[in-house]
Amino acid sequence: MPTCATQQKLAEAAPIYNLILPVPDTDFRDYLDEVDALSRFAPKIIEEIEKDLDANARAKKKLRIEDRKFFEITTLDLPDLHVADAELLADQLELGTGRPRMSAELVYLFVMIRGFLGGSLASKTSRRFLRESMSLYAYLDNRDLTMPGVTTILENINLVSAKTLNVIFDEQIKFVLKEDLDDFLKLTIDSTSVKANSSWPTDAKILTGLLMRANRLGQKLNVFGFENFRQGWVARWLEEMDKLVFQICLVAGKANSIVKLKKRYRGLLRLGRKAANALTTELNRLEQELLIETLPPSRRVLLQRVLDQVKADLADGNRVIDYANDRVFHDKKLPSTEKVLSLSDGSAAYIKKGSRLPVIGYRPQLVRSANGFVTSLIVPEGNAADSIELVPAIRESIKRTGVTAALVSTDDGYASAKGRDEVLDMGVEDISISGAKGKKLTGLNEWESETYRGARRDRSAVESLMFTIKDGFEFGELGRRGIEAVRSELMEKVLAYNCCRIILMRKRRREALDKAA
């Protein structure tokens, strides 16, 4: 059918609505209602998020002002005009009326939704869920709110600080106490392993990846107006290293693999040294010629980040070359704590728990109450022993709940005479440590008492928590990298789990009342 242009303004087609639009009775609808109830119970949550958004806005404004001052001083001053520069402090800047930003209420909502969906809103599944959720549509529509774009959501919810997440956690526990859903007199602590957002490391892959990233960043300096790293033979060396990595993977575990591995590793490490030395030479040349003062402050921040990453990669690359050479040719093994285990997450560690498969990741500590609420989350850096985390975890739980537990139950991994005494000094009446080590630390009369027998029987309940939070909230898989981001992700998942636990415990209480009636 032929078309033609017209100057007439065509009216938009009227949207089609259902006369009756029922909201489905789903667990997500109940979850949104619970999230809303928590924010109404604790308005402090929204206030803290508003502070985080303001702090980010002030930091951006500070950079804009510094950029403007930079461009002003590059021009000639007016005669006899002398203006004293004052140091800018982001905290003291006043925010004006700028572009509309995402409200703190929406930021809070999507922080909680991200925890419910397993820690990611950027995945294809999560995006589809957000677009097609009738429960979310009704929630926003009833409050005259519109659905922001995914990029806008991510930019804003990533500004929520660890301090604010802890405030939400504190208020959530207060809400549980107000609803009388738990008394927090019985606590169980256990740790679990979570997998970092990183592939399994090998020295060959780590070395090649580090040098490739350093070279790749060296080719982006032209964005800042500087000459890129000169390539020379580096690109070819890296290409040959990548082929050798593939060959090393192929020969592993086969006949005469040791001889073949040594031959390929010899070539890999030789090329790695050449590439690392060439990239270091280029970095030194750049730093000697670099006049970072010629860049606006906002660009300096970005350039410094690039240079810091290149320096770190080259330093790590040289370290990998040294210990890989010792391992392959001199049979010297380095502890995992002294090795580079991940390209993407430098704070991840080698975690081995019992007979389970080892992972590269983290070992969070969870404290569980009798009714299944998480009252404390500690995510130590590295593979910290359980025994040294007992006291901090229980102390945090008591501080958050405001209730001194009558009984703490745990397993043999937390056995420590000093730790046991410190927990008892907090006012805890009994601490049950299952296993042979715990039995040695506990008096025979206490060990055989009904209190301690019951504690040992009930300790397995914490395994139910681990299964539920991993299966329902992806607690065992991480999407973010770096210790601070990992702590925030795991905290969001704990907050989502506790919200769902509130719903479940309230439902059980209603059912019990109905039966009693």
Q: What is the pLDDT of residue 14?
A: 47
Residues 215 and 318 in one domain: yes
Domain limits for position 59 = 27-74+100-160
Residues 379 and 467 in one domain: yes
With beta carbons less than 8 A apart as the criterion, state whether 368 and 408 touch: no
Residues 225 and 123 in one domain: no
Q: What is the pLDDT of residue 62?
A: 85
Which domain-ending residue is among 315, 338, 361?
338
Residues 292 and 372 in one domain: no
Residues 431 and 395 in one domain: yes
CB count within 10 Å of CB 383 equals: 18
With beta carbons less than 8 A apart as the criterion, state whether 349 and 337 touch: yes
pLDDT tens per residue across span 448-495: 899 888 888 888 888 889 999 999 999 999 999 999 999 999 999 999
Q: What is the pLDDT of residue 514?
A: 84
Q: Which residues pair with 374 in a beta bridge?
A: 368
Q: Which residues pair with 190 in a beta bridge?
A: 366
Residues 193 and 154 in one domain: no
Q: What is the mean pLDDT of residues 336-358?
A: 85
pLDDT tens per residue across span 16-69: 445 556 677 889 999 999 999 999 999 999 999 999 999 998 888 888 888 888
Q: Name the burial class of residue 195, with classes exposed (0-12), middle (13-18) and buried (19+) by CB atoms within 10 angstroms of its CB.
A: middle
With beta carbons less than 8 A apart as the criterion, state whether 296 and 231 touch: no
Distance between CA atoms of 503 and 238, rounded to whole angstroms? 55
**444 in a structural domain:** yes
**286 in a structural domain:** yes
Residues 214 and 154 in one domain: no
Rounded CA Rg of the chain? 29
Q: What is the mean pLDDT of residues 90-106?
A: 69
Q: What's the structural domain count of the chain?
A: 3
- Which conformational region is residue 182 in: left (phi greater than 0), alpha (psi within -120 to 50 degrees), or beta? beta
Distance between CA atoms of 151 and 121, rounded to whole angstroms? 10
The answer to whether residue 75 scores a pLDDT higher than 80 is no
**172 in a structural domain:** no
Contacts of 443 (CB under 8 A, 6+ apart): none
Distance between CA atoms of 184 and 407, rounded to whole angstroms? 10
Q: Which residues pair with 377 in a beta bridge?
A: 366
Distance between CA atoms of 254 and 246, rounded to whole angstroms? 14
Both tokens of residue 34? 């619970």
The helix/strand/coil state of 174 is: helix
Residues 249 and 317 in one domain: yes
Q: What is the mean pLDDT of residues 244-266?
A: 86
Distance between CA atoms of 127 and 149, rounded to whole angstroms? 10
Residues 145 and 188 in one domain: no
Which domain-ending residue is among 338, 370, 393?
338
Q: Which residues pair with 187 in a beta bridge?
A: 369, 408
Distance between CA atoms of 68 and 342, rounded to whole angstroms? 40
**49 in a structural domain:** yes
| Model confidence band, residue 81 (pLDDT cutoffs 50, 70, 90) | very low
Residues 432 and 463 in one domain: yes
The answer to whether residue 354 scores a pLDDT higher than 90 is no
Contacts of 41 (CB under 8 A, 6+ apart): 171, 174, 175, 178
Helix (H) or strand (E) holding 195: strand 194-195
pLDDT tens per residue across span 396-436: 999 999 999 999 999 989 999 999 999 999 999 999 998 88
Task: Print burial letters for 65-102: b (CB count within 10 Å at least 16), e (below 16).
Answer: eebeebeeeeeeeeeeeeeeeeeeebeebeeeeeeeeb
Is beta strand 407-410 parallel, antiparallel or unpaired with respect to 430-433? parallel
Q: What is the mean pLDDT of the chain?
A: 88
With beta carbons less than 8 A apart as the criterion, state whether 501 and 38 touch: no
With beta carbons less than 8 A apart as the criterion, state whether 386 and 191 touch: yes
- Which conformational region is residue 102 in: left (phi greater than 0), alpha (psi within -120 to 50 degrees), or beta? beta
**134-138, 374-378, 513-517: least confident range:** 513-517
**417 in a structural domain:** yes
Sequence length of the chain is 517
**127 in a structural domain:** yes
Q: What is the pLDDT of residue 83?
A: 46
Residues 207 and 190 in one domain: no
Q: What is the pLDDT of residue 64?
A: 85
**92 in a structural domain:** no
CATH of the domain at 354: 3.30.420
Q: What percent of the chain has pLDDT over 90?
A: 61
- Closest to 229 in 3D by CA, of 165, 277, 186, 181: 277
**344 in a structural domain:** no
Distance between CA atoms of 399 and 391, rounded to whole angstroms? 12
Q: What is the pLDDT of residue 157?
A: 95
Residues 474 and 385 in one domain: yes
Task: Pinpoint the alpha helices (H) of 331-389.
Answer: none
- Closest to 311 in 3D by CA, of 346, 284, 338: 284
